Chain A
């Protein structure tokens, strides 16, 4: 009972290992992956004294229950939830030292979607392409947690951070405001569709996942039918599949695709997108003039 590892007692709806992801491999068809709310993942790492690259757990809506096999400092943050050790409440969003064999429960999210659990030393599963992140699109990295599985922990790097005066956790959004820049394929849509995107009421769909934030709302009408030959896709791309409802690409998005991208969401707004529960109102706010043309490359 003293090895550096923890057992999964209840995995929850979907709990995955996440770090900063594996950017730089998109040309091989490898998604970036990584924590959907990187700010929260970074904060729980700081609370237990880990470097930013350390791997943490990302839960989905209903938390998880874990039993460390060694004494270890943990911190739970991101979506607010109850945190208990052997049934007794402990602080959320703060480092907590727990004894070997105790039962750590991150409860269901009170607000938001994804809580983050950091252990001092980080989760030490084998990296793939430089990252320990679970990539749900391509299957790289460790599989999602299952009840009864045991995951290794690394050696603590340093003392837990002293963050006196509290940590600035962003609140999960009551309304999700996504700043967008139109393009690269805004010309595949009608003017009416561009107006609809920025004026109509959309809501977060329950079909959202780590690949994309799906929305429900009015269809966006296309000016051109069909699909594009495959082209590279970026994080935050607002892709419009045949059902006409915009999908915002999140960390596990495919690296190429053929549905036209109407606009791109500012990366700084994607952590809030990852914490927006189904049903949350969504507003797309343009930050540049609609229909930005291509840059003048001076070539006919």
Chain B
């Protein structure tokens, strides 16, 4: 763990990988819920860092953080959210070719995995989900699409994501969901917030062939 200063009121805590970042994030939330944290305006996990922004005395907090015993991330008792999906994306065949498996096997592998929202970014409610084995990492599309429909299930690098709204995008589209990922009028605007467990459940009628 390495804590880097970010201006005078923030710390960027760098960890070795996403699981460690997720473990620190979970511990921060546990301690905040228990009233054991100083006021921190934003706790922002990312690929292998956690940003603590809006914090008085970041140096002191960095020293305190070094003394913490942080439990490793393990499958929560918390149930995974199930997101029904039609595996009908235009890039399903390309992903099957990259994985060197038939398309049906892409559906089986993807829907068998349990995902965790590692972090959010790009647009409100867009979660970067980890859970696929590293060998299934895929590159972005060589040419990004100018418009990806809302609800598109997509892959890039080690991540799975669902576009909360229509936007430009370069990820490989493998499916579609009708689940609303982002609704500012809802009490929890984002369905997928960091740490949430997720499973994608194939809608039978939607599988090709």
Judging by beta carbons under 8 Å apart, are A264 and B63 in contact?
Answer: no
| A233 vs chain B, min Cβ distance (A) | 8
B42-50, B102-110, B140-148, B198-206 - the one binding chain A:
B42-50
Judging by beta carbons under 8 Å apart, are B121 and A264 in contact?
Answer: no
Given contacts A28-B193, A29-B125, A254-B121, whether A234 and B47 have CB atoms under 8 Å apart is no
Given contacts A129-B189, A254-B121, whether A184 and B8 have CB atoms under 8 Å apart is no
B51-59, B83-91, B171-179 - the one binding chain A:
B51-59
Please tell me which one of the listed residues B1, B6, B9, B65 contacts residue A183 in the complex, with CB atoms under 8 A apart.
B6
* Chain A: CB-nearest residue to B184: A128
* Chain A: CB-nearest residue to B67: A298
Is B10 on the interface with A (CB-CB < 8 A)? yes
* Chain A: CB-nearest residue to B193: A28
Is B123 on the interface with A (CB-CB < 8 A)? yes
Q: Is the interface of B mostly helix, strand, loop or mixed?
A: mixed
Is B126 on the interface with A (CB-CB < 8 A)? yes
| A194 vs chain B, min Cβ distance (A) | 15
- Report how far A230 CA is from B122 CA in the complex, Å: 10
Judging by beta carbons under 8 Å apart, are A184 and B4 in contact?
Answer: yes
Is B41 on the interface with A (CB-CB < 8 A)? yes
| B122 vs chain A, min Cβ distance (A) | 6
* Chain A: CB-nearest residue to B122: A29
Please tell me which one of the listed residues B58, B124, B185, B194 contacts residue A138 in the complex, with CB atoms under 8 A apart.
B124
Judging by beta carbons under 8 Å apart, are B47 and A231 in contact?
Answer: yes
Task: Please classify how large the interface on chain B is, using the bins under 10, 10 to 19, 20 to 34, 35 or more.
Answer: 35 or more
Please tell me which one of the listed residues A138, A233, A264, A295 contacts residue B59 in the complex, with CB atoms under 8 A apart.
A295
- Report how far A293 CA is from B128 CA in the complex, Å: 30
Is A229 on the interface with B (CB-CB < 8 A)? yes
Q: Is the interface of A mostly helix, strand, loop or mixed?
A: loop
- Report how far A129 CA is from B186 CA in the complex, Å: 9
With a 10 A CB-CB cut-off, give which of B1, B46, B63 has the most chain A CB atoms. Answer: B46
- Report how far A26 CA is from B119 CA in the complex, Å: 10
| Binary interface encoding of chain A residues 253-268 relative to chain B, with 1 for a CB under 8 A from any of its CBs, else 0 | 0111100010011110
Judging by beta carbons under 8 Å apart, are B2 and A297 in contact?
Answer: yes
Please tell me which one of the listed residues A28, A128, A183, A298 contacts residue B4 in the complex, with CB atoms under 8 A apart.
A183
| Binary interface encoding of chain A residues 5-30 relative to chain B, with 1 for a CB under 8 A from any of its CBs, else 0 | 00000000000000000011111111
Is A1 on the interface with B (CB-CB < 8 A)? no
| A294 vs chain B, min Cβ distance (A) | 5
Judging by beta carbons under 8 Å apart, are B12 and A231 in contact?
Answer: yes
Give the contacts of A178-229 with B (CB-CB under 8 A): 181, 183-185, 229
Given contacts A29-B125, A255-B44, A292-B5, whether A234 and B51 have CB atoms under 8 Å apart is yes
A-B contact list, 15 entries, CB within 8 Å: A25-B124, A27-B42, A29-B122, A140-B184, A183-B5, A184-B12, A230-B46, A232-B42, A256-B120, A256-B122, A265-B7, A266-B8, A295-B11, A297-B3, A298-B63
